[in-house]
Copies of this chain bind each other. A is one copy, B any other.
Amino acid sequence: MLKFDEDKYRNDLTAQVNAIADGKKIADEITKQGYDNIFFVGVGGTYAMMMNFVTLAKQYTKIPVYLEQAGELVLVDNPHLTKNSLVITGSKSGDTKEIVNAEKWLKEKGIRIAAMVMSKESAVGELCDWRIPLQVFKGVEFEYLSMYGIFYGLLADNGDFPRFDEFYDQIKSNMVEGIINTQKNFDNRAEEIAKKYYNTDYQMWIGGGELWGEVYLYTMCILEEMQWLKTKAVTSAEFFHGTLELVDKDLPVFLVKSVGKYRPLDERVEAFLKKENNNLTVFDINDYMIKGFDKEFQPIISPIISTIILNGRLSKHLESHSGHDLDMRRYYRQFKY
């Protein structure tokens, strides 16, 4: 497959799966210390990835779980954020400006920080109390996996996720080869879609629930940032309250269908679009689900499925057709602003 080093990828994924045990140990330590609430703090792709956990928290726990923009967090004194809070943040590079600033601000207040970062020897790594191990820079699937140990570990320790061990067993038995196989299975379709759409003026993307972060991320951090393609992303819950009016027969529309409780909202959108639009692409996560996971766990791992087919495969084929290198930037990290 295009830009896919299977051996290296398998080794990295295996290491990331093994690191879930380290995340669980962090969770156990924090649980022992006690905490009142969890603040996810991110920006950009990392913020988008965190949306999934905040959404699923609503189905699992009474622990208050908040999501904050790192840049906004430091500008107000949120009364819920105290010394008894736990902040979970992350920066793949370890030097994201907003995250470093937020960590410094949090340290001054004596608030505990667990940070997903590749290296402890980075600004973000040095400022955090616990490093949540991240194996590689590219691939949001690694970020999701990095969070499983700490997040579901905290829930398990609180009695809210009693099947943690079974979940982890199923990951260890099925995740690595499952992720690789799904990408192989999707690759031909990725090529077809990329060929058809690499040069569009504008794409409308729709999704929701535990997959909304993925739709948000794919449009903003991949299509806009890495391919300079204009997009609109809207949730399935909101689609009928404004954005639908842009739909005509020819508009390129993409729908990512959830496998969880919010699926009926996606189905309503799909039924409408099948009548009113002739240029619809549906990514039903059910069609690409990894084998070996119980029904309960499928919505939890669904953003991994979404990210490996879209970020993992579709973007590589878009790059190949457009000739626009995914690493090319006009501005981001090109100069100070």
Contact = CB atoms under 8 A, between A and B. Distances in A.
Interface of A: 43-45, 47, 58-62, 64, 69-72, 75-80, 98, 201-202, 208-209, 220-221, 224-226, 228, 230-232, 234-238, 240-248, 261-262, 264-265, 268, 271-272, 275-276, 329-332, 337
Nearest to A78: B58
Given A230-B232, A245-B329, A238 B208 contact: no
Contacts of A62: 79-80
Contact of A240 (B208, B231, B245, B332): B332
Contact of A331 (B64, B245, B329): B245
Contact of A241 (B221, B231, B236): B221
Nearest to A97: B240
Interface residue SS majority, chain A: mixed
A44 B241 contact: yes
A237 B71 contact: yes
A302 to B, nearest CB: 15
Nearest to A44: B241
A203 to B, nearest CB: 10
Given A75-B261, A225-B242, A330-B245, A337 B268 contact: yes
Contacts of A44: 238, 240-242
A175 to B, nearest CB: 25
Given A235-B69, A261-B76, A331 B45 contact: no
A237 B78 contact: no
Given A45-B241, A238-B220, A75 B331 contact: no
B238 A69 contact: yes
Given A43-B237, A69-B237, A228 B246 contact: yes
Contacts of A226: 245
**Most B CB atoms within 10 A — which of A70, A201, A230?**
A230
